[in-house]
Amino acid sequence: MMRTRPLKVALLGCGVVGSEVARIMTTHAADLAARIGAPVELAGVAVRRPDRVREGIDPSLVTTDATALVKRGDIDVVVEVIGGIEPARTLITTAFEHGASVVSANKALLAQDGAALHAAAEVNGRDLYYEAAVAGAIPLIRPLRESLAGDKVNRVLGIVNGTTNFILDKMDSTGAGYQEALDEATALGYAEADPTADVEGFDAAAKAAILAGIAFHTRVRLDDVYREGMTEVTAADIASARRMGCTIKLLAICERAADGESVTARVHPAMIPLTHPLASVREAYNAVFVESEAAGQLMFYGPGAGGEPTASAVLGDLVAVCRNRLAASRGPGESAYTRLPVSPMGKVVTRYHISLDVADKPGVLAQVATVFAEHGVSIDTVRQTGKDGEASLVVVTHRAHDAALSGTVEALRNLDTVRGVASIMRVEGE
């Protein structure tokens, strides 16, 4: 039997995502009620600019006083889609203190203060759900928190930022340079006017912190994630990757160490073989590859951003939280029992693609090979081209520690025959 008294929802933010959440709540009200077991009612919408026309939203619900809204004792669920650290953090904790559960899409806040938010939810006996914080509409958080809860996840490898994937895909498929591809992404609405958070890897790093924490049942904060942007990727790098049978993607990589005693989380551009499933992810799509002991290899793919896809994830969480509310139960909270340390980037082991500008004369290759050997870095392949006294030397290594590779590069820079290090790219996905 369906409960007639509605569950009341407060919406914090009514931008691209928030307006879609409100629209779906209205247009699919009957379906949502049937799935939950009670109607849901939009009880208030907190915004910064109340005079803006918001189609489909009763103006009487709009307020600029978000604090008063979340303090109302009749609110069952607060949906937070304003983003940023403050006032979102204070509003969420206030909502818990006044009896509401929370659905959030705030990746930056969760990556920075997820542990504190989970603790506040626990103390007050409320839910904190955040499927929309990572990879938009792609079901990823819930499978990691629930479907794979009985398994051991060893690696999460993914494309979690649509803007950077669009840019790199255009550079690869059309031969465009970075700026040209970025301009196209901006014109199509895939890139913000200030794309720094995307192209410098901040957005992906926040998502990596969340994924690593859930996958490995430990606390990983944004500061623990090694981050490298993709603004230095050139058309020459793309062409070199092609010659190796690879493409370049900005990847979020979360790994459990082979001995199981630590984890790593990192974001950086990397070459991946064209045979890898992630290589075929085009345009602004996202995809995440999960490797676990029992389930094996799983891939999650779909639109990773945008109003409708992100609202879909928010509404999925809203249904789950409302069901828990009716059943007087709670969903999964934070699982950080392993307390595994996060290793620094220097301990990461991977392959490398190094492009050097060198003098075109006998003995250069021998000098370069000696430097690699002295630092314990094994060479897989070498390709050299050149004329008129200048040459390009491309070295691909076997797997090596990042610290050892860094020492190698510094030593190479000191060789008289090395004019410069054109690029260094990690090779992943093998």
Active site positions, annotated:
207
Q: For residues 207 and 173, is the Cβ–Cβ distance under 8 A?
A: no
Alpha carbons 34 and 23: distance in angstroms, whole number? 17
The Cα 422–Cα 404 span in angstroms is 19
Pairing of strands 246-256, 263-273: antiparallel
Phi (first) and psi of residue 252, to 5 degrees: -100, 125
Spatial contact of 250 and 182, defined as CB atoms under 8 Å apart: no
Distance, in Å, from the CA atom of 121 to the CA atom of 97, rounded to the nearest integer, reads: 8
CB 42 within 8 A of CB 14: no
Rounded Cα gap, residues 380 and 397, in angstroms:
5
User: How many CB atoms sit inside 10 A of residue 10's CB?
Assistant: 27
User: Which residues, at least 6 apart from 231, have a Cβ–Cβ distance to it below 8 Å?
Assistant: 178, 199, 200
83: left (phi over 0), alpha (psi -120 to 50) or beta: left
**Dihedral angle sign, alpha carbons of residues 164, 170, 171, 176:** negative
Nearest Cα to Cα of residue 109 among 127, 82, 140: 82
- Two tokens, residue 90: 């204070």
* Interacting residues of 22 by C-beta distance below 8 A, sequence separation 6+: 11, 14, 42, 45, 54, 56, 57
* CA quadruple 195, 201, 204, 209: dihedral sign: negative
